[in-house]
Amino acid sequence: MEILRHVVVLIHLVGFAILFGAWVVEAVNGRRHVTRLMNWGLAIAAVAGLILAAPWGIDYSLNYTKLGVKLVILLAIGALLGIGSARQRKNGSVPGGIFWSIGVLTLVNAAIAVIWR
Can you give the binding site for ligand HEM, defined by CB under 6 A?
A: 5, 9, 12-13, 16, 19, 45-46, 49-50, 52-53, 67, 70-71, 74, 77, 106, 109-110, 113-114
Which lies closer to ligand HEM via its Cβ, residue 30 or residue 114? 114
Round to whole Å and give the CA distance between 68 and 63. Answer: 9
Round to whole Å and give the CA distance between 37 and 35. Answer: 5
Which lies closer to ligand HEM via its Cβ, residue 88 or residue 109? 109
Round to whole Å and give the CA distance between 54 and 46. Answer: 13
Task: Give least dist CB 61 to ligand HEM, A.
Answer: 11
Contacts of 38 (CB under 8 A, 6+ apart): 18, 19, 22, 23, 81, 102
- Give the helix/strand (H/E) hosting 49: helix 36-52
Taking alpha carbons only, the member of 14, 15, 33 closest to residue 24 is: 33
Which lies closer to ligand HEM via its Cβ, residue 53 or residue 89? 53
Task: Give least dist CB 91 to ligand HEM, A.
Answer: 25
Which lies closer to ligand HEM via its Cβ, residue 26 or residue 90? 26
Task: Give least dist CB 83 to ligand HEM, A.
Answer: 16
Task: Give least dist CB 58 to ligand HEM, A.
Answer: 6
